Structure 1
Amino acid sequence: MSFQAADNPEDTRLQRLQEVLDSGTLQQAKRMLNALHPGEIAHLLEALPIAEREIVWGLVDEENDGEVLVHLTDEVRADLISKMDRAELLAATEGLDTDDLADLIQELPHTITREIIESLDLQHRSRLEAVLSYPEDTAGGLMNPDTLTVRPEVTLDVVMRYLRRLKSQIPPHTDNLIVVNRAGKYLGVLFLTDLVTHDPDDTVVEIMSLDLKAIPANWDDGAVANRFEQHDLVSAPVVDDEGLLLGRITVDDVVDVIREEGEHQFMGQAGLSEDEDMFAPVMISAQRRALWLGVNLVTAFLASWVIGMFEETIEKVVALAVLMPIVASMGGIAGSQTLTLTIRGIALGQLSGKNTRWLILKELAVGGLNSMIWAAVVAVVAGIWFDSTDIALLIAVAMSINLVFAALTGAILPLALDKIGIDPALAGSVLLTTVTDIVGFLAFLGLATLFLL
């Protein structure tokens, strides 16, 4: 077992560790393993077959267990948790940030969850319950309630002395202090750069920024990611409906959201979950994929049924059987381009009722232009190949129809699926392929039946 050669030092360290594991020197492997960042250990675990994964997991120091579990995909994490005893699970949750603990605790057995919550002091328990009260894919579910707040009336000198007392307790990714009033209502932020470059006698209210808008706790994680991207944020405050500060979201959480969304879009096209374990047992993987294969089989039968309707035509004009895949394939490719573009627009929140019509018209124009270009190319090739002007004109018209229809379907289908609550990334490609195959075969074979027989 070996990792792909990499150019950066982190991948090189992972490769060396893999070689040590293969050699069987576990003590050296343990030292090297625990010198890695928890995220690197998680990456290594996900890249190992189950038997080797369990061995390596046993080498991870107990104090690193929690951080490593947080970085793992859901399926791998659930598998490792199922093999840990009560004491190991309790130890793994110690010292975790509140947002990470909220992510992990939801996958633990109920009795362990209750014991962990009861072991927390009142402040930490209320913070954890605040995060758990929101869905996982919202700003409230992403946030960490551990924040540094200051009042607007204090001086910068007081703030500096406050930070010196905190020292190592300052949360990671702290680029600003959140300004709140006595009721806890969000007012603005004091950036650390402003704190260290202004007169210590200045008050917070004189220096603080009002430009950073707080994120409502009920925003979905996609909207949060867009806000961070558009404003180049490192952290952002989260508030409730009354404007009261609940916590903050940091860029590391947003990076996870973006990565998961990208994996979801990519894996969803094949009917797979973004948390799919590459080394899951054969039977489990087969069961999960069987349903998707069944759905594809049904759509394939639909296309075959359409072809069967023109069996007599194909028998008389054999050239049609040779050229049919070209019509269907070109339509599928053209439609998938539009489908991908539309799904991206939906994911980024760039499509609305005002610009949807323009997108559809634009894609129809693109489809029409491409249909004229490539229909002409295919017509010339088919005409020379089969020495038939009729077949050349026939495939040109059929391809034009399919390309235009594919562009229309690629634009409308994901919007319709999204409106009825079905994930376009998961269902869009299968439905689009079905539509383009059926339309392509109907157009090509139907026109052939009308004009060649």
Structure 2
Amino acid sequence: MTSAVKLENAESLLDRALEILASGSQIEIRNLVRSLYPAEAAHILEALDSESRAKLWAVIPPSVIGQVLVEVNVEVGAALLKITDRKDLIAATESMGADGMVDLLHVLPEPLLSQVMESIGVHNRNRIEKALSYGEHTAGGIMSDDVLTIRGDVTLDVVARYLRLRGNVPANTDSLIVVDRKEHFQGVLPLSQLLSHDPHTKVAAVMDTRISGIPYRMPSREVAGLFERRKLLSAPVLADDGRVVGRIAVEDVIGLIRDEADHSLMSMAGLSEEQDMFAPVVSSAKRRALWLGVNLMTAFLAASVIDLFEDTIQQIVALAVLMPIVASMGGIAGSQTLTLVVRGLALRQVTGSNAGRLLFKEISVGLLNGLLWAGVVAVVAGMWFHRPDIGILLGVAMLINLVCAALSGVAIPVLLEKMGVDPALAGGVLLTTVTDVVGFMAFLGLATLFLL
């Protein structure tokens, strides 16, 4: 029930924005903008065409535009930067924290990047330059340097008084990071321990030493997996010598998980998750033309296989009617396996040690389904054309293609991953080619051998 309500609210918010923008009332547009969180504004901006997007962007206050730019995808952000006054952009950075500033600088083009860096103070510039030195897609690139550390040799009462004097703690703080005199990581003190133990107890006596810090070089994709597996709310980030250099909170990881899901979904169609849904027609057509061209070449390859058996098809016309069935069933079966394996690779559940067992399992599934549906199509095709021999050959060809589809559905993404190619991006095209070629070759080849 909760999910349905949230979804409805998101839809109604977009509908209301579209209605207000269509009315052209500047007062209502400004009232709408004031009621939005930055992420909500970004969601609406991504769903608008360029004209409506410009109307809404024009009334977003400079103090908020930096936070919105961080939330929108890269292509929409680039379009918004073109219509943003540079003075407003520089002013926006003044209201942003160091973490938000780093995220914003990652999306700024070079001329603007230099201007923004020159406009901030020396202290902030040093912090930001240090943050930018970490890889964008690493633990260091997503961490916050707003870290609250305590020593293990003090009492819980001292820690409590320190927190009261400090006045605030970093967002999503579920535990305090314990370090030694040289800032080396020792463990964490859950806030529940701080509140439930005798105030005179030393931190070292109740801190949790089972939690290990995250190396700053760890890929962000692995960080997301770590948070998911261990149900973490936050974790310290460590330098090579064990010093605490930052902290990652769960809110930083949620975005990573969403981005990874978007990437997998869009890559299956040869698209990028950073593309603007309302990009100009010409630029969208150019991007999609590449994969259409690749698909066309593979289609010609499949057609060339059919051409090899032109004489067979001319003599037995029923083959032309039935052969798409073999390729279609192989394509569906292969796509099921491919999707399963691509997901497993993304979650690091498929490795060299278990890929062989997965391959055996998928081939067994393909064989079982192949036997089932081969029998069905053999009977149907035999009765349809009054040729039991054609039905039997169709069933055998389908069995061959389903087993081959299972083999390809596992092997193709695993090999692409080893070659450093995104299996979600290229796997589908290669799989379709294999199932089409094998399906046509098996069916028409068997017909040539046994029916002529």
Rounded Cα–Cα distance in structure 1 between residues aligned with 2:111 and 2:18: 36
Letter in 1 for 2:212: K
Following superposition, the deviation at residue 118 of structure 1 comes to 4.0
Distance 2:24 2:112 in 1: 35
Give the structure 2 partner of residue 132 of structure 1.
132
**Counterparts of residues 140-155 of structure 1 (less than 5 Å):** 140-155=140-155
Secondary structure of 1:405's counterpart equals helix
Task: Confirm or deny that 1:296 pairs with 2:295.
Answer: yes
Structure 2 residue 186 is the aligned partner of structure 1 residue 187: yes
Give 3-state SS (helix, strand or coil) of 1:134's partner. Answer: coil
Are the equivalent residues in 2 in contact too, given 1:5–1:15 (CA < 8 A)?
no
Q: Which residue of 1 aligns with 2:89?
A: 89
SS in 2 for 1:189: strand
2:263 matched residue in structure 1: 264
Partner of 2:80: 80
- Cα distance in 1 for partners of 2:403, 2:7 equals 45
Amino acid at match of 1:178: I
Instruction: Spell out, residue by residue over 1:144-165, the C-alpha distance to the aligned partner (whole angstroms, 9 max, x if none).
Output: 1111111112222222222223
The match for 1:114 is 114
Cα offset for 1:8?
4.1
Q: Deviations over 1:203-222 (max 9, x none)?
A: 22122111222111111122
Aligned AA (1:136): E
Pick which of 171-180 and 408-417 moved more.
171-180
Is the Cα–Cα contact under 8 Å of residues 75 and 276 in structure 2 kept in the other structure? Answer: yes
Alpha carbons 1:5, 1:11 under 8 Å: kept: no
3-state DSSP of counterpart to 2:107: coil
Q: Is the 8 A contact 2:178 2:188 kept in 1?
A: yes
| More displaced 10-residue stretch of structure 1: 95-104 or 84-93 | 95-104
Q: CA deviation at 1:234?
A: 1.1
The DSSP-based 3-state class of the residue aligned with 1:106 is helix
Inter-partner Cα distance in structure 2 for 1:109 and 1:301: 42
TM-superposed CA distance for 1:432, in Å, is 0.2
- Give the total of aligned pairs: 449
Q: Look up the match of 1:423.
A: 422
Provide the rounded CA distance (Å) in 2 between the counterparts of 1:127 and 1:67. Answer: 19
CA distance in 2, matches of 1:172, 1:158: 21
- CA pair 401-109 structure 1, distance change in 2 beyond 3 A: closer
Q: What is the one-letter code of the residue matched to 1:240?
A: A
Aligned amino acid, residue 401 of structure 1: I
Q: Deviations over 1:335-376 (max 9, x none)?
A: 111111111111111122211110111111111111000100
CA change 1:383–1:408 in 2 (3 A) is same
Aligned-pair distance for 1:406?
0.6
- For residues 449 and 123 of structure 2, what CA distance do their matches in structure 1 show? 78
Query: Deviation of residue 288 (structure 1)?
Result: 0.8
Unaligned runs of 5+ in 2: none
Q: CA deviation at 1:179?
A: 1.1
Which residue does the alignment assign to 1:242? 241
1:276 Cα deviation (Å)? 1.2
User: C-alpha separation between the residues in 2 aligned to 1:26 and 1:84?
Assistant: 19
Partners of 1:55 and 1:265 in 2: how far apart? 32
Q: Distance in 2 between matches of 1:116 and 1:161?
A: 39
- After TM superposition, the structure 1 stretch with the greater mean CA deviation from structure 2, 322-331 or 182-191, is 182-191
CA contact (8 A) 1:176 1:191 kept: yes
Of 143-152 and 94-103, more deviation after overlay is shown by 94-103
How far is 1:92 from its partner? Answer: 2.1
1:76 positional shift: 0.5
Contact 2:378 2:392 in 1 (8 A): yes
Partner of residue 62, structure 2? 62
> Could you tell me which residue of structure 2 aligns to residue 50 of structure 1?
50
Deviation at 1:6, TM superposition (A): 7.2
- The amino acid that maps onto 1:296 is N
Rounded Cα–Cα distance in structure 2 between residues aligned with 1:276 and 1:111: 23
Counterpart of 1:34 in structure 2 is 34
Using the alignment, how far apart are the partners of 1:8 and 1:178 within structure 2?
40
CA distance in 1, matches of 2:6, 2:238: 43
Q: CA deviation at 1:135?
A: 1.8
Task: Say if 1:289 and 1:402 are closer, same or farther in 2 by CA, change over 3 A.
Answer: same
Deviates more, 1:101-110 or 1:412-421: 101-110
CA distances 1:393-425 after superposition (whole Å, capped 9, x unpaired): 100110011000110010011010010111000
Residue deviations 1:50-105, cap 9 Å, x none?
A: 01101101111221111111110111011111222321121222232333322211
Give the structure 2 partner of residue 440 of structure 1: 439
1:204-258 deviations in whole A, cap 9, x for unaligned?
2122111222111111122111111111111111112211111111111211111
- 1:248 counterpart SS class: strand
